[in-house]
Structure 1
Amino acid sequence: MLLNSASLRSLYVGFSAAFQSGFAGVTPQYGRVSMSVNSTTAETEYGWLGEIPRIREWIGDRVVNNLETHGYSIKNKTFESTVGVKRERIEDDNLGMYTPIFQEFGRSTATFPDELVWPFLKKGFATKCYDGQYFFDTDHPVLDENGVVQSVSNSGGGAGTPWFLMDTSRFVKPVIYQNRRPFKLTAKDRLEDENVFMKDEFLYGTDGRCNVGFGFWQLAYGSKQTLDAAAYAAARAAMGSVKGDYGRPLGVKPNLLVVPPALESAALKILNNEMSAGGETNEWKGTAELLVVPWLA
């Protein structure tokens, strides 16, 4: 191939098309448990997480629900990935090997939010959320009917492989995916670029700014207990009984059981089997959707 601005531009168009094709057919899983928030600054505050407005009978003046500031914020981080293509490969038209590389490059970019969200969820047993407690904890502070602080749990404890039960029906989700600058493919492919002069190599890279954080702990339950009918029942009962401040029912309805591949069999027995191990009817059949997440392995 004769190297000039036109041929290099055509080459970039081809690599970009392969990169974009990597997005096709990819269905990232992070959106099932996270809400996407567009950020416009280096750090975004989420103080409003501490207050869910309620409807009340209008008697007298309106009661203004002030969104309490909890000081919870998510700082954006910058991420990148770069591919180098040797000049000789282009000159010799030996480019066939790069199409699948750029397709996989696109695929890995499309699923990158999964690589952030799911490992972050696993860290919820030791990572704080907006109320200053670990996201999965036994002592989230909630005010009872008399305004007295009570401890509420969304953790099953244990020391085994973690699994999660969630209510994903709300607009606010258990996890926040914060997007500051979307990923896109760029190139340093001019003949006068330093990388070409010094290393005889054209560079193609993608970069973006984003990060993750925790939303409402009330919509998620994490456990490291053995995943069986008893543990699953305890999780559902705990989530269904969660109330907001001053005893207000939140109406939490768990609808998604999230497990790593190692717990797929145990989860299927709970959610799909007609009968339990003891021969009686399995009361938990169909009570939630199963999501097996390889990023949790």
Structure 2
Amino acid sequence: MLVNQKNVKSIFINLKATFQGAFTQAPTDWTKVAMLVTSTSKENDYAWLSRFPKMREWIGDKAVKSLAAFGYTIKNKDWEATIEVDRNDIEDDQLLGYAQQAQAAGQSASELPADIVFALLSGGFHNLCYDGQMFFDVDHPVKGVSVSNKSTKKLSADSYAAAKASYGAARTSMRQMKDDEGSSLKILPGILVVPPALEDTANYLMTADRFPDNTPNPYKGTAEVLVVAELTSDTAWFLLDTSKVMKPLIYQERKKAEFVEQTDYNNDNVFMRKKFLFGAEARANGGYGFWQMAYGSTGETA
């Protein structure tokens, strides 16, 4: 093939179309557990998370809640996937591999939100949230009292007793969450997130009428099972309340992933090294919302 500006432009138009075709197949499971926040600067301040919104009776002066002393900022990160196109490959019509790479780049770009969001769940036992504690922790401070949204219990459907000690305890703990004035936060856990290794256990727990010991299953249908291959542990599981506008996780998007290219003949990369470039760029990050809306277990103990 003759390498000229017209032919190169045509090639990259096709590569972009291939990229876009794969990008439109974006997975959407992450939207079930995370809230999309559109960012307009290099970072967003979430200090307001220290005030879980709750109405109270207006008697006398309004009770104005100030922001807590700690702050919580999510800084946007740059993301990229870049591929070289050798000019000789254009001359020799060896472009099939680049089309496949463009497709892979589009797929990777579409998966970025899910990668970020589900990494937050896996890292929730170690990463800090707005109150300065780990997102999943046993001692979140609420008006001088330590409150837990963390367990080590293995998710089990072997018997009613085992299910109650794991899933049942998580559900009860979340529904008992109160604000710093002692009022119920009305948490409604509805999504059970598990790795593939726990898929059968979770599905049995949510669909079976009775446990193997023939006791009734009161947890049937109480949550949607979401199986997430990106989770890094085969034993950890998570129960989330996603019924409200605010979700327990945040996906912060500054710039949606887009196709970029470098095909200018005057560019040093082309003139000196006969390399054209294409790929994807994005700016985004993720973070934690209200810990009260999430419960995590490492699944390490029976």
Q: What TM-score, normalized to structure 1?
A: 0.72
Tell me if the contact between 1:260 and 1:296 (Cα under 8 Å) persists in the aligned partners. Answer: yes
**Cα distance per residue 1:30-63 (max 9 Å; x no partner):** 2221112122332321100010232223333433
Closer, same or farther: CA 52–120 of 1 in aligned 2, 3 Å: closer
Q: Partner letter of residue 156 of structure 1?
A: S
Which residue of 1 is the match for residue 249 of structure 2? Answer: none
Matched residue of 1:246: which SS? coil
Are 1:241 and 2:176 an aligned pair? yes
Which residue of 1 is the match for residue 118 of structure 2? Answer: 118
1:278-297 to 2 correspondence within 5 Å?
278-297=213-232
1:105-184 to 2 correspondence within 5 Å?
105-143=105-143, 149-158=144-153
Q: Aligned-residue CA RMSD in angstroms?
A: 1.7
CA distance in 2, matches of 1:62, 1:119: 40
Q: How far apart are residue 66 of structure 1 and its match? A: 3.2
Which of 201, 210, 213 pairs up with 1:266?
201
Matched residue of 1:151: which SS? strand
Matched residue of 1:6: which SS? helix
Closer, same or farther: CA 69–9 of 1 in aligned 2, 3 Å: farther
Tell me if the contact between 1:227 and 1:263 (Cα under 8 Å) persists in the aligned partners. Answer: no
Segments of 5+ residues of structure 2 without an aligned counterpart are 158-162, 233-302
Matched residue of 2:104: which SS? helix
CA distance in 1, matches of 2:68, 2:119: 29
Q: Tell which has more relative contact order, 1 or 2 (C-alpha 8 A, sep 6+).
A: 2
**Cα distance per residue 1:233-267 (max 9 Å; x no partner):** 00100000011111011000000000000110111
Which residue of 2 is the match for residue 59 of structure 1? Answer: 59
CA distance in 1, matches of 2:213, 2:169: 19
CA distance in 1, matches of 2:44, 2:231: 27
**Cα distance per residue 1:55-87 (max 9 Å; x no partner):** 223333433343445211112221211111221
CA distance in 2, matches of 1:25, 1:254: 29
Segments of 5+ residues of structure 1 without an aligned counterpart are 144-148, 159-224
Which residue of 1 is the match for residue 191 of structure 2? Answer: 256
**Cα distance per residue 1:123-170 (max 9 Å; x no partner):** 111211111111111110002xxxxx1111101125xxxxxxxxxxxx
Q: Partner letter of residue 99 of structure 2?
A: T
Which residue of 2 is the match for residue 48 of structure 1? Answer: 48
Q: Partner letter of residue 181 of structure 2?
A: Y
Q: Partner letter of residue 71 of structure 2?
A: G
Q: How many residues align?
A: 226
CA distance in 2, matches of 1:292, 1:227: 16
Tell me if the contact between 1:50 and 1:69 (Cα under 8 Å) persists in the aligned partners. Answer: no
1:98-109 to 2 correspondence within 5 Å?
98-109=98-109
